[in-house]
Amino acid sequence: MHFQHPPSKKLIIITAIIVIILSLILLKVFYLDPNKPLVYEFTTVNKVDLTQEVSVTGTIVPKDSADLSFEITGKVKGIYAAVGDSVTAGQVLIKLDTTELDAKLAQAQAAVDTSLADASKAETQIQSSQLGLKEQQAKIDSARALLAQYQAGLEKEQVKLVEIKKGARSEQLQVAQTKVINAQNNLIDAQTNLANVKNKATNDLVSLYDDVSDTIYASYTKADDAINKQITDLWNKSGTTYELSYSTSDLQAKSDVERQYSGIKDEVAAWKQEIDGLSATSTNENWDRALEKSRNHLVNVRDFLIRQMDTLNAGIDNASASKTTLNTYRTSVVTARTNINTELTAITTAQQGIASQKITNQNNISTASGAVNTAQNALDLAKNEQQLTAIQASPEEIAGQEAAVRQAAANVTSQKAILAQAQAGLDTQRSQIDQTRAGATSAQAGVKQAQANLQNAQAQLAKATITAPIPGIITKQDTKVGEIVSAQKNIISLLNPQEYKIETNIPEADTAKIKIGDTAAVTLDAYGDDVKFSAQVTKIDPAETVIEGVSTYKTTLKLNQKDERIKSGLTANVDILTAQRSQVLAIVQRAVINKDGNKFVQIIVIDPQTNRETMKEVPVKTGLRGSDGNIEITEGLAEGDKVIVYTKENP
């Protein structure tokens, strides 16, 4: 049996080498033949107009619309617009029943009036307390001055006693004479000063009384205006009697004012006669009485106006007077009361000024008179000392002088007690004025609280009415008269049909391309592609809106034309023009190759050695990407260059 030996290892290697060589020959012949022509598709670099657009779908919505509701719960009293009605901005659409709110408003107004009266009363009390404080301080000053005089008198009596007991010498006689001369000069100076003080006191009072007539006449004028002008519309006259021109539920207040009105008018008229009876020759006492009478007249007018306001703050029959008329009445009464309170303050200020000046004058005259008395006493004392110095005192004279010393000491002790009592009175007065100030502060706080409650009541009343915030057409009305509606429930809607906008959501990839002011071409599905509209980007929300996992940005476009075919809710196809270039070099975008962060294209060139077409890779820089698939070439190519779009092997 013969066995076939396997081929040797050397033979295998030789055979493999031969196969490789034959393969390379075939590859060169069939595939790498430089004479074989290229097979490719190309585009030519041309100058074109490029535009970049972002195309999205949106919805037509009105530029202005409103869904309205009440801020409070209540019963519907009136409906003044129906679906389809055209309304103007500010027009009343729906009202709630405001009976309870009107009552609260009246209560709040009454509380304000009461708190203002309390505050005015507290202020008057403060002024009165301050006047009392000045009077008490004047008593203390007078007591101290008198104490000083008594102490000086005691010292002099003590000195005199010593001198009497010691007897006189020649030099003492000379000193005594000098004291008499000096005392005489001091008395003359004190008397001159007293005359000057009295003259100034008279002039100061004359200056104050010169203004009293104007103050009194101004108060009368305001009172006459309040009673005979401001509130006359609130009254009807029947014969010689007066009746309110409106019905009020406060029958007691009604009875009071109807009984008092005729009398208060007579009082004001009598006041005028009192004023006419005054003249430039009237005494200060006459003017004081006139001020006090004027103050009493003002208090009576003020109290009457307060009672008049009570009739307006009570329940009013709407059939007797409209709300507008009642508000006018209240305003008139409040104005009249404010004027009267102002004049009361003016009268009180005038009285206090005169009283204060009289006290000041009295103190100054008392001080000056005291100085005269002191000077006279000093002169008398100096003369007595001179006489006593010239003679030896007898035991009876010494005993008499000792009694005088004891009396002077008793006067000092008594005056110290009087001063202590006056100081205690001052401390009490100060404590009272502190309490009065605290009451005034509390009253002012009450005024602020009452005014805040009034503002709140007015605000609540305003919430009972829905008005149109914009002009437009009612698109929804979901309530009826008598129905109880809840706060914040949308019951009426309207839109402005004159202007519309488009709302759309731009994907995050396109957001960077658009900006405020970009223009857009718009078509509506309802009318097809042949009907075109124009729009402009007006708003791009800064926060994203995620739709089906994709971040988008809500964008608003304003339609540039008004067209009755445009309706809310229509679907809009929007092409936003984001950029454009004219006559720029461009090629198709798919011809650009991205490699390692750089951009390249393959162009066709003629090999100078073989005179055949060959490919060459060149770097380029790109610009705007057009919506038509082209891309701008800013660097690397020239017009007419052939750029390979696609290549394939030639078999």
pLDDT of residue 32: 44
Separation between Cα atoms, residue 68 and residue 470, nearest integer Å? 11
Highest mean pLDDT among 29-43, 124-138, 354-368: 354-368
| Torsion angle defined by CA atoms of residues 96, 98, 99 and 102, in that order, rounded to the nearest 10 degrees | 180
Mean pLDDT of 166-176: 70
The answer to whether the CB of 460 falls within 8 A of the CB of 97 is no
The CATH architecture assigned to 98-167+396-463 reads Orthogonal Bundle (1.10)
Helix (H, G, I), strand (E, B) or coil at 96: strand
Is residue 400 pLDDT above 90, yes or no? Answer: no
Percent over 70 (pLDDT), the chain: 93
Is residue 168 pLDDT above 60, yes or no? Answer: no
Cα 372 from chain centre: 62
Separation between Cα atoms, residue 635 and residue 620, nearest integer Å? 5
Backbone angles phi, psi at 581, to 5 degrees: -135, 145
Q: Which residue has the tokens 């017009």?
A: 639
CATH fold of 65-97+465-492, please?
Answer: OB fold (Dihydrolipoamide Acetyltransferase, E2P) (2.40.50)
pLDDT of residue 433: 87
Helices and strands: H and E segment counts in the chain? 8, 24
Backbone angles phi, psi at 206, to 5 degrees: -60, -40
Helix (H) or strand (E) run with residue 247 in it: none
**560-598 tens-digit pLDDT:** 888 888 888 899 999 898 888 899 999 988 889 998 889
**268-283 tens-digit pLDDT:** 999 999 999 988 888 9
Domain boundaries, the chain: 42-61+502-648, 65-97+465-492, 98-167+396-463, 168-391
pLDDT of residue 290: 92
**223-246 tens-digit pLDDT:** 999 999 999 999 998 888 999 999
Low-confidence winner among 24-28, 211-215, 336-340, 367-371 (lowest mean pLDDT): 24-28
The answer to whether the CB of 354 falls within 8 A of the CB of 209 is yes
**The residue type at 478:** D
Q: Tell me what the pLDDT averaged over the chain comes to.
A: 87
Is residue 213 pLDDT above 80, yes or no? Answer: yes
CA nearest neighbour of 35 among 517, 483, 612: 612
**Confidence band (pLDDT; 50, 70, 90) for 148?**
very high
Mean pLDDT of 304-318: 89
The pTM is what?
Answer: 0.40
pLDDT of residue 30: 44
Residues 6+ apart with CB under 8 A from 171: none
Angle at 376 between CA 373 and CA 378, to 5 degrees: 110
Separation between Cα atoms, residue 573 and residue 565, nearest integer Å? 15
Domain 42-61+502-648 is in which class? mainly beta
Is residue 522 pLDDT above 70, yes or no? Answer: yes
| Cα-based distances in Å from 489 to 69, 284, 407, 566 | 5, 72, 94, 29
DSSP type of residue 549: T
Low-confidence winner among 163-172, 289-298, 434-443 (lowest mean pLDDT): 163-172
Helix (H, G, I), strand (E, B) or coil at 89: coil
Separation between Cα atoms, residue 360 and residue 577, nearest integer Å? 90
**The residue type at 205:** L
pLDDT of residue 638: 86
Is residue 143 pLDDT above 80, yes or no? Answer: yes
For residue 43, the cross-strand partners are 643
pLDDT of residue 368: 92
pLDDT of residue 370: 92
pLDDT of residue 37: 57
* Of residues 169 and 88, more confidently modeled: 88
Mean pLDDT of 620-647: 87
Is residue 160 pLDDT above 70, yes or no? Answer: yes
CB atoms within 10 A of CB 309: 23
pLDDT of residue 289: 94
Residues 6+ apart with CB under 8 A from 606: 612, 613, 614
Which sign, positive or negative, has the C-alpha torsion 213, 217, 219, 220? positive
For residue 621, the cross-strand partners are 635
Residue 163 exposure: Cα atoms within 13 Å on the Cβ side:
24
Mean pLDDT of 44-61: 89
3-class DSSP string for 386-405: HHHHHCCCCHHHHHHHHHHH
Helix (H, G, I), strand (E, B) or coil at 5: coil
pLDDT of residue 144: 92
Helix (H, G, I), strand (E, B) or coil at 46: strand
**Confidence band (pLDDT; 50, 70, 90) for 344?**
very high
Is residue 373 pLDDT above 90, yes or no? Answer: yes
CA nearest neighbour of 466 among 22, 55, 72, 85: 72
Through-space distance between the first and last CA atoms of the chain, rounded to whole angstroms:
52
* Of residues 151 and 132, more confidently modeled: 151
**414-431 tens-digit pLDDT:** 999 999 999 998 899 898
Q: Which residue has the tokens 């203004």?
A: 211
pLDDT of residue 31: 45
**443 φψ region: left (φ > 0), alpha (ψ -120 to 50), beta (else):** alpha
Mean pLDDT of 26-38: 50
pLDDT of residue 4: 47
Separation between Cα atoms, residue 171 and residue 166, nearest integer Å? 14
Is residue 3 pLDDT above 70, yes or no? Answer: no
